[in-house]
Every structure is written in C-alpha cells, then in structure tokens.
Structure 1
C-alpha cells in the first residue's frame, strides 16, 4: 500500500473568514501517536519548493526561457564560475 501522509489538516478561508477546518489521521503511520488536531502547528518550509519554485520554473519553461537540460550556471549567472555552476535542473 502506498502512503502519502499519516494525517493532515485542511483549512479553507475566503476574505479572512475560515469556512472549513478539519483534521484527519495521526502524526505517524503506526497510529500510536496522537491524532492530528486543528491546533497542531506544522513546519511547511519544505512545501516552498513545490508551491513557489515549481510554478515559476514551469512558467519560464512555457515561455521558452528555460530548457530542461539547462545548468544552474546558465540560469543564475552568479553560480556560473562556482562548483554549483554545472548542476543540472
């Protein structure tokens, strides 16, 4: 069985008003830990890569400003002459 997450919170708001908030599942897959509560706080820094960077990369690709085989040094010239300049994508 594939697993995506042991639990989550969903919150939907419009114009500053929450109209849906619900928590599902547990903090761990073994379900021995606590259930997820609406008051739990998460570190969402790892989501930044997906929610901020990826859509921008997709737009650059669609506009022809970025190729899938571009190296970091081509995309960001400040890295061109460093040990990071040859990193792909």
Structure 2
C-alpha cells in the first residue's frame, strides 16, 4: 500500500528544543519519545554528515542499541554558482 519511507536528518529536533523549565520538559517528553519511535520506523535513515551521524547515535540511544544506524548522504551543492562573485559577470 505504501512505499518505502526515507528519513533525512539534518539535526535531531530533540536537541533544538528548549528543556529549560519543568513545564517545557513535561511538554516535550511525549514529543521526544515519539520522535525516536517514529524515526526508527523509517525504512532508511540518512544524515547529512558524519557529525550528524554521531549526534544521532548519541541522541537516539535506543535506536543505536537496536543497531539502527544512519547512512551519510551529503547534500548536493551546485558549485558552478560560486564561479563568480554574486552580482558580477
């Protein structure tokens, strides 16, 4: 019915959210749990760098302990856009 699910991670949301007060920690707890759970359900997990791969493993310890490890796929960059300074021909 559904195709494969690919998750491309730039940085775990869990680390971007503030957990500074007890209210925020309580609010974020189910979101953080669901982020890890649903991320682990993807058929393929990709990250944008080796740094993000190590951050992913440190953040999602349950996935790492289950042997779920992301592959690195560096973002494509059109290097031709940098051949001349912007605005100059």
TM-score grouping bracket, smaller chain normalisation: under 0.3
TM-score for the superposition, normalised by structure 2: 0.20
Q: TM-score, structure 1 length as denominator?
A: 0.20
Query: Larger relative contact order (C-alpha < 8 A, sep ≥ 6)?
Result: 2
| Structure with more helix by fraction | 2
